[in-house]
Amino acid sequence: MENQNPPSPSPAHSPPALSPRARLLRGALCGFAACAVFAFAWSIPFQFASSSLLYKTGIFKVLLRGGKLCGISAALLAFFQILLVARLRFLERIVAQKRLYALHRTNGVVLAAFILLHGGGILEADHFALFPLEKRYWPEFLGMGLAALFLLFTGSALLRTRLGLPYQAWAGLHRFSAPGLLALLTVHVLAVSESFHAGPPRWFILALAGAALFLYLRILRRRFSPGRRS
Amino acid sequence: MKRMLMLLLSLILFVPAAVNAAEWKLDPDHTNFYFDVKHVYSTVRGSFPDFSGKVVFDPEQPEKSSFRFEVKVASVNTMVTQRDTHLRSADFFDAGKYPVMTFQSTGVSRVKDNVYRVAGKMTIKDVTKDVALDFVYHGEKVHPLQPKMMATGLDTRFTLDRLEYHVGDGKFYKMGAVGKDVDVLITLEMLRDR
């Protein structure tokens, strides 16, 4: 009989607690770092605006820029997802592992909402203009496929018990397909907008993808090394 | 008597076919619907690669000729996908609502030498206008690469005011960004069996 529930974190493996003051300080530093990352990401549609924004006026400019901001936010949250479950000691000393997993789940829902807003904003800015089935629109079609997969991820996580999906099977699929999604997300972002074709926005996304890959390899190493933590 | 009857029958059967203008098939790889439009100072060139058409043309009997073209708006290609998406949107072609541009000839006449005037109705979006396009006829010959086929070619260049066809509301024209006069070049290469 397969386990139907996620495993509880073991208190025996929890890192030593910090003093409240140190915890607050480190938490503030992490919060500041996250804010800096988001601030740079949100500056991209302004500082490195693609030419498509030049041809939009009024509400359609707001929709296009808003859609891009939502897309960038969704991408950042997707990369942050791996950070939350990477079992990083310094993070677990600030926020309990259980809360990090709860944050991972909440983050997934917010990420799904940003994906819907991203698609809606971008398409509405062009009056929902049709995309012909042509090879040159592959970054857009990749984005649509990714949106569907991310929504499936979130939906299956929220409805797992209702759908009767066994936890181990679901978690295995989730764990091993997530890096594929992040890789495809990186390709989509780098190819879909000229903002990411060169310069700091491109390096930024590549750095995030590199960090995500590093964290994922670290997770795998821990998982498959002898005497691993549960 | 029998011979006379056979000759008469042959004339009835074959002469109309001989006087009918030939129907040509568009060679899609060598037929082009190009357009040029000014952007601030430069010229943006694009094309519509998805089209179909029916051409019946006889240079000796132009009055028996007819032209019909249908061009899929969604295929617009200016080599910049974001710009093409914008062109398909309601800001310009509104491809979802008006997916096809059409031209249907109403009469063909010879202007001089190898120049033929094709009068007809051009429909773009919700506007249909009577236009007359001067085509240059380049002749007819056995296709150099397909000996079983005959090839012919016709070209036309004309300018139309996109705002007259509601392609854009003039916002970008007034800003000085996108011109309203669109230079169109249609080059037809057509084939038929020998």
Q: How confident is the model at residue A225 (pLDDT cuts 50, 70, 90)?
A: confident
Least confident of A112-121, A200-209, A220-229, B130-139: A220-229
CB proximity A230 to B under 8 Å? no
pLDDT at A228 (0 to 100): 58
Residue A3 or B61, more confident: B61
Which of the two residues, B11 and B155, has the higher pLDDT score? B155
Calculate how close chain B gets to A213, using CA atoms only, in Å: 30
Q: Using CA atoms, how far apart are residues A94 and A184, in angstroms rounded to an integer?
A: 31
Residue A89 DSSP SS3: helix
Residue A124 near chain B (CB below 8 Å)? no
Interchain contact A51–B (C-beta under 8 A): yes
Residue B3 has what pLDDT?
65
B74, A51: Cβ pair inside 8 Å?
no
First to last CA, chain A: 19
Burial of B74 (0-12, 13-18, 19+ CB in 10 A): buried
Residue A71 CA: distances (Å) to CA of A25, A136, A147, A188, B141: 31, 21, 10, 11, 56
Contact call for residues A220 and A186 (beta carbons, < 8 A): no
Residue bearing the bigger pLDDT, A220 or B131: B131
- pLDDT value of residue A2: 46
Confidence check: pLDDT of A5 > 90:
no
Report pLDDT for A1. 43
Place of tokens 């990477």: A86
Model confidence band, residue A131 (pLDDT cutoffs 50, 70, 90): confident
Residue B177 has pLDDT above 90, yes or no: yes
Measured between beta carbons, the chain B residues lying within 8 angstroms of A57 are: 171
3-class secondary structure, A148: helix
In the three-class reduction of DSSP (H, G, I as helix; E, B as strand; rest coil), residue B72 is classed as: strand
What integer is the mean pLDDT of B125-129?
97
Give CA–CA dist A200/B64, Å, rounded. 64
Q: Which helix (H) or strand (E) holds A221?
A: helix A200-224
A127–B85 CB contact, under 8 Å: no
What proportion of chain B, given as a percentage, has pLDDT over 90?
88
One-letter amino acid at A174 equals: H
Q: Are B22 and B57 in contact (CB under 8 A)?
A: yes
Q: CB-based contact (8 Å) between A132 and chain B? A: yes
Rounded to whole angstroms, how far apart are CA atoms A214 and A207? 10
Per-residue pLDDT averaged across A122-131, rounded? 89
| In the predicted structure, residue B1 carries a pLDDT above the cut 60 | no
pLDDT at residue B18 tops 50: no
Q: How many CB pairs under 8 A join A and B?
A: 44
User: Which of A50, A57, A60, A126 is the mutation pick for testing B, counting most B CBs within 10 A?
Assistant: A126
Determine which helix (DSSP H) or strand (DSSP E) holds B178, and give its type and residue range: strand B178-193
Return mean pLDDT, chain A. Answer: 89
**Other C-beta atoms within 10 Å of A67: how many?**
21
What's the 3-state SS for B92-108?
CCCCCCCCEEEEEEEEE
Task: Name which of A210, A218, A216 is nearest A190 in CA terms.
Answer: A210
DSSP conformational letter for A100: H
pLDDT of residue A23: 87
pLDDT of residue A72: 97
Question: Stretch A208-230: mean pLDDT, rounded?
Answer: 84
Rounded-to-10 torsion of CA A139, A145, A147, A153: -140
Cα–Cα distance between A162 and A68 in angstroms, integer?
34
Minimal Cβ distance to B74: which of A50, A126, A130? A130
Residue contact B96–A129, C-beta within 8 A? yes
Burial of A70 by CB count in 10 Å (0-12 exposed, 13-18 middle, 19+ buried)? buried
- Give the pLDDT of residue B16: 43
- What is the reported pLDDT for A17? 73
Please state the rounded mean pLDDT for residues B116-137: 97
**Residue A199 predicted with pLDDT over 80:** yes
Query: A78 vs A110, A212, B23, CA distance in Å?
Result: 10, 10, 58
Answer whether A130 sits within 8 Å of B88, measured CB to CB. Answer: yes
Q: For residue B52, what are the β-bridge partners?
A: B70
Nearest neighbour of B81 by CB, restricted to A127, A130, A136: A136
Can you tell me the mean pLDDT for B11-28?
Answer: 67
Question: Within 10 Å of residue A202's Cβ, how many Cβ atoms?
Answer: 15
Q: Which chain B residue has its CA at the smallest distance from A126's CA?
A: B89
Q: Is B82 on the interface with A (CB under 8 A)?
A: yes
Please report which confidence band the pLDDT of residue B8 belongs to, taking 50, 70 and 90 as the band edges.
low
Mean pLDDT to the nearest integer, B12-20:
47
Q: Percentage of chain A surpassing pLDDT 70?
A: 92
pLDDT tens readout for residues A166-177: 999 999 899 889
| CB atoms A126 and B86 under 8 Å | yes
Task: Return d(Cα A188, Cα A76) in angstroms, integer.
Answer: 13
Residue in chain A lying closest to B74 (CA): A132
The angle at the Cα of A224, spanning A218 to A226, to the nearest 5 degrees, equals: 115
Residue A37 has pLDDT above 80, yes or no: yes
Is 90 exceeded by the pLDDT of residue A15? no
Among A103, A181, A196, A170, which Cα is nearest to A148's?
A181
Comparing alpha-carbon positions, the chain A residue that sits nearest to B90 is A127
* pLDDT at residue number B32: 97
Distance from CA of A82 to the nearest CA of B (A): 32
Residue B49's identity, in one-letter code, is P
Q: Which of B156, B166, B164 minimizes the C-alpha distance to B34?
A: B156
Return the amino acid letter for A44.
Answer: I
- Helix, strand or coil, per DSSP, at residue A66: helix
CB-nearest to B89 from A127, A136, A140 is A127
Tell me which residue of B26, B14, B15 sits closest to B152, measured CA to CA: B26
Nearest to B37 by CA among B128, B142, B162, B135: B162
CB-based contact A140 B89, cutoff 8 Å: no
Mean pLDDT of A70-83: 96
Predicted confidence (pLDDT) at residue B165 exceeds the cutoff of 80: yes
Mean pLDDT score, B160-176:
95
